[in-house]
Structure 1
Amino acid sequence: MKYPFLENHFKTTLTHQHRTIGCWGSSSSPIVTELVGLCGFDWVMFDCEHSPNDVINLAPQLMALKGTHTQAMVRPYFNDPVLLKRLLDIGVTNFLIPMVENAEDAKRAVAATRYPAQGMRGLAVSHRGNYFGMMDDYLPRINSNIGVVVQIESAKAVANLEAILQVEGVDGIFIGPSDLSTSLGHIGNATHPEVVSAIHHIIKTSKQYGKAIGTVSFDVQTVKNYFQQGLSFIAVTSDLGALKGGLLAASASYRD
């Protein structure tokens, strides 16, 4: 039995720089993920770097998005080829690679998501990512179907930005304002003028190279401003943040 090859629609939105909104996913719960997928977000970013998300609990969360229009992206906890291989084999097709500071980091990430000769991904003939060997045309098409976004979140990354942007296979960049502000010596202050100047430089330079640009902001006006500046994919809320906000509002209303 054969099943049709699944096109990566999120990668297409990156290529054409369509405006999309996403939800930061840290709950590690397929029930919460299913709810997120039913609430109108274009994508959910499963965070493995700062949450309990891992290969085991990501598989049921990917299943929970079936039947919705929400695409999945995963931020691994490290730019590690073995970890990326395992994520690819459970069906992850879009990656946000943290702490990319130079072209070599970006090249390593891209190579880990490609089979030889374009990369170094290890080959397994039957896994969830290829419908256990039943997805038609998987091997000849999957290399070009993987989306790779690199996170720019340090002074070193800003200094090496042009080299990073020229790496083949990098589909977009993602500005990490919290770590960037920390790297620049302004921990917890992403609105410091030096941080804002660095972000403007990242946006301007990335646009010159025609790359999709994303970031995270939970402030509506800031999101609008970012879209006007040319960003195309922005995480506008988080699953745990929305849950916390709703619960705090409910408990406060009754205590008052």
Structure 2
Amino acid sequence: MPFHIELPDTFTARVAAGTTPALGLWVCSGSACAAEIVAGSGCDWVLVDGEHSPVGLESVSAILRATAAYRSVSPVVRVPVCDVALIKQYLDLGAQNIMVPMIDTAEDAAQAVAAMHYPPRGVRGVGSALARSSRWNRVPDYLTRAGSLVSLTVQIESTTAVDNAEAIAATDGVDAIFIGPSDLAASMGLIGQQSHPDVLAAVDHAMTAAKKHGTLVGVNAFDPAQARAYIDRGADFINLAADVQLLARATENTISAMR
């Protein structure tokens, strides 16, 4: 009889079942060691950044293995772009939870959904028997159950995306939206001003759109006061800091204190 393995619940399933907002941290270093340290911090989810960081397929695979021991933590892998072939590869190496950046329209969101699923719902290529996604065919009925074993979060990061937030949130197969105030501010001509009233109003508009359609919504917020404000506003999940940022500030503070 084959050995059977059951995969953890998806990130969005855990967020939906939670009674408090899910608190997350970025892993931008590309280090599996750093990822394991972050995963043991008590956070609820870890965002592995494949968009702005030196993170490729091999390092993501190592990071997923390093964090797998922390069963209460959900790793979410952000791909660099909405690319069908790349998303297929990340799924096959065992990333259950995918985040896709720079989704501006419902059509963009639908393309991301299609990349996540096997035909007839989507266009994901079938190779799970050879891959970690099915634990090399040790997950029972993986091909028929795969749609329930993965989650998709799309990012709203531009004025165009905010204008289309309701249609994006309503797209079948989009489990959550994650708002990026930094890129949103830049698209509004307010680069570096994530707390500008116009940026906050745009974030609020996107959050309202998500809530209207029952779609989970999260926000990136490195400022603790702003993070609490987003939680009070109803954010289902939030990302608070990054491994490289924490390391940079802690080392500076240590040296500065001794100078």
State the distance in 2 between where 1:200 and 1:35 align. 33
1:33-91 deviations in Å (ceiling 9; x for gaps) = 11111111111101111100111111111010122122110111100010000000100
Instruction: Check the 8 A contact 2:153/2:174 in 1, yes or no.
Output: yes
Q: Tell whether 2:9 aligns with 1:5.
A: no
State the distance in 2 between where 1:202 and 1:161 align. 6
Q: Residue type of the partner of 2:69?
A: G
Instruction: Check the 8 A contact 1:11/1:147 in 2, yes or no.
Output: yes
Instruction: Check the 8 A contact 2:10/2:149 in 1, yes or no.
Output: no
Name the structure 1 match of 2:237.
233
Aligned runs of 1:209-228 on 2, under 5 Å? 209-228=213-232
- How far off its partner does 1:220 sit? 2.0
State the distance in 2 between where 1:191 and 1:37 align. 28
Q: Residue type of the partner of 2:107?
A: E
Q: Tell whether 2:146 aligns with 1:142.
A: yes
Q: Tell whether 2:86 aligns with 1:83.
A: yes
Of 44, 47, 53 in structure 2, the residue corresponding to residue 45 of structure 1 is 47
Name the structure 2 match of 1:63.
65
Name the structure 2 match of 1:113.
116
- How far off its partner does 1:16 sit? 4.0
Structure 2 length-normalised TM? 0.95
Number of equivalences = 255
State the distance in 2 between where 1:174 and 1:76 align. 14
Name the structure 1 match of 2:96.
93
State the distance in 1 between where 2:228 and 2:191 align. 25
State the distance in 1 between where 2:120 and 2:8 align. 21
State the distance in 2 between where 1:224 and 1:117 align. 42
Instruction: Check the 8 A contact 1:5/1:137 in 2, yes or no.
Output: no
Structure 1 length-normalised TM? 0.96
Which segments of 5 or more consecutive residues in structure 2 lack a partner in the other structure?
none
Q: Residue type of the partner of 2:68?
A: K
Higher mean C-alpha deviation, range 212-221 or range 38-47: 212-221
- How far off its partner does 1:193 sit? 2.0
State the distance in 2 between where 1:71 and 1:57 align. 17
State the distance in 2 between where 1:247 and 1:201 align. 38
Instruction: Check the 8 A contact 1:44/1:72 in 2, yes or no.
Output: yes
State the distance in 2 between where 1:67 and 1:7 align. 11
- How far off its partner does 1:128 sit? 1.1
1:176-223 deviations in Å (ceiling 9; x for gaps) = 101101111111111222212111111122111111110111222222
- How far off its partner does 1:8 sit? 2.2
Instruction: Check the 8 A contact 2:185/2:192 in 1, yes or no.
Output: yes
Name the structure 2 match of 1:173.
177
State the distance in 2 between where 1:117 and 1:7 align. 25
State the distance in 2 between where 1:118 and 1:152 align. 24
- How far off its partner does 1:4 sit? 2.4
Query: After TM superposition, what 4+ stretches of structure 1 lie above 4 angstroms from structure 2?
Result: none
Of 20, 23, 28 in structure 1, the residue corresponding to residue 30 of structure 2 is 28
Q: Residue type of the partner of 2:116?
A: T
Aligned CA distance change for structure 1 residues 140 and 115 (closer, same or farther; 3 Å): same
State the distance in 1 between where 2:17 and 2:69 align. 24
Q: Residue type of the partner of 2:76?
A: M
1:7-45 deviations in Å (ceiling 9; x for gaps) = 424221343465110001101011111111111111110
